[in-house]
Amino acid sequence: MRKMLVTSVVLVLVACGAKVDKGTRPLYEVLTQQEQGGAQVRFFEILTEEKEINMLLGDENLKDKIKPADINTANFVILNLGEQTSGGHTVAVEKVEELPDKIVITVKESHPGPGEMATSVMSYPYAIVRVNSKKPIEIKD
């Protein structure tokens, strides 16, 4: 009995001192990328303030992808391509670089080429990106 008690205590002490690697978050994550649902005008917006980020918490597509704690650890970027006369248009992140003083996001727009098949319905492409840093963000397109 005594040996079992000593073994249990040792196991508890070892477990309490163990380091758990929770993994590191990637620099950025595309939370959603849609062909419908964006705004009518083309714009890129960086959300850094609590009240701006709280707006995203209420979005049906994002509610399970954003945590309230992200307000303190991340910034968000809305990439909106604006109204397009057909389908087949996308806006995406091409590259994200972390520099000592800022994060630089390069945006890539894709459009159907001449003669390519595309739906003949208006589209409003957009993407929302979480940047797991509070450094200032610069967007290049």
Domain regions of the chain by residue span? 24-140
DSSP class of 18: P
5-59 pLDDT per residue, tens? 333 333 333 333 333 334 588 999 999 999 999 999 999 999 999 999 988 888 8
Alpha-carbon distances, residue 20 vs 14, 41, 49, 70, 105 (angstroms): 12, 46, 31, 21, 32
Q: d(Cα 70, Cα 50) in Å, to the nearest integer?
A: 9
Two tokens, residue 37: 């649902």
CB-CB contact of 42 with 124 (8 Å):
no
78-134 pLDDT per residue, tens? 999 999 999 999 999 999 999 999 999 999 999 998 888 888 899 999 999 999 999
> Mean pLDDT, the chain, as a whole number?
84
